[in-house]
Chains A and B, each alone.
Chain A
Amino acid sequence: MGSIILENVTKSFGEHHVIHGVNLNVGDGEFVVFVGPSGCGKSTLLRLIAGLEDISSGKISIDGEDVTDAPPSKRGLAMVFQSYALYPHMTVRDNIAFPLKMAKMDPAEIDKKVNEAARVLNLAQYLDRRPRQLSGGQRQRVAIGRAIVRSPTAFLFDEPLSNLDAALRVGMRLEIGELHKRLAKTMVYVTHDQVEAMTLADKIVVLNAGRIEQVGSPLELYKTPTNQFVAGFIGSPKMNFITGAPAANRQAASIGVRPEHIRISRDTGEWAGTVGVAEHLGSDTFLHVQAAGLGTLTVRGEGEIGIGYGDQIFLTPEPDKVHRFDANGITMR
Chain B
Amino acid sequence: MARKQSSGRTLVVTIVAWSVGILMFFPIFWTAVAAFKTESDAYTLPQNWLTTPWTLENFGIVQERSNYLRYIFNTIVIAFLSTLLGLVFAVPAAWSMAFSPVSKPSIDWGGWRWLAAILGAAAIAGVILYSVNWDLTGRPLLGIAMLILFMAPITLWVFSRNTTDALLWMLSTKMMPPAGALIPIYLLFNRNGLIFKDWGWANLSDWNLIDSFWGMVPLMMLLNLPIIIWMLYTYFKEIPVEILEAARMDGASVWAELTKILTPMAIPGIVSTCLLNLILAWNEAFWSLNLTNKYAAPLSFFISEYSSPEGQFWAKLSAASVMAIVPILIVGWFSQRQLVRGLTFGAVK
Q: Which residues of A contact B (CB under 8 A)?
A: 50, 52, 71-73, 77-79, 81-83, 85-89, 98-99, 102-103, 146, 150
Contact = CB atoms under 8 A, between A and B. Distances in A.
B45 interface: no
A271 to B, nearest CB: 49
A239 B331 CA distance: 67
Interface residues of B, number: 17
Interface stretch (B240-248, B302-310, B320-328): B240-248
B120 interface: no
B249 A73 contact: yes
A123 B296 CA distance: 58
Given A87-B261, A88-B265, A73 B240 contact: no
Contact of B248 (A73, A82, A150): A73
B264 interface: yes
Given A77-B249, A86-B246, A102-B251, 14 more contacts: A71-B248, A78-B249, A82-B242, A83-B240, A85-B246, A86-B243, A87-B243, A87-B246, A87-B247, A89-B265, A98-B247, A102-B256, A146-B246, A150-B251
> Which of B242, B248, B251, B261 has the most chain A CB atoms inside 10 A of its CB?
B251
B238 to A, nearest CB: 11
A150 B264 contact: no
B264 A89 contact: yes
B312 to A, nearest CB: 52
B252 interface: yes
Given A79-B246, A81-B246, A85-B246, A102 B252 contact: yes
Contacts of B261: 87
Contacts of B64: none
B250 A102 contact: yes
17 contacts: A50-B249, A52-B245, A73-B251, A73-B252, A79-B249, A83-B242, A85-B240, A85-B243, A87-B247, A87-B265, A98-B260, A99-B251, A102-B252, A102-B253, A102-B256, A146-B246, A150-B250
Interface in B248-281: 248-253, 256, 260-261, 264-265
Contacts of A71: 248
Contacts of A86: 243, 246
A72 to B, nearest CB: 5
A82 B240 CA distance: 12
A72 B249 contact: yes
A249 B248 CA distance: 58
A106 to B, nearest CB: 16
Contacts of B256: 102
Contacts of B251: 73, 99, 102-103, 150
Contacts of A73: 248-253
The 3 closest A-B pairs by CB, nearest first: A102-B251, A99-B250, A85-B246
A81 B248 contact: no
Contacts of A99: 250-251
A162 B260 CA distance: 28
Contacts of A82: 242
Nearest to B248: A72
Contact of A52 (B248, B252, B260, B264): B248
B194 to A, nearest CB: 45
B264 A146 contact: no
Nearest to A77: B249
A73 B242 CA distance: 15
B265 A85 contact: no
B100 to A, nearest CB: 13
Contacts of B249: 50, 52, 72-73, 77-79
A44 to B, nearest CB: 13
Contacts of B253: 73, 102
A150 B250 CA distance: 8
A81 B265 CA distance: 19
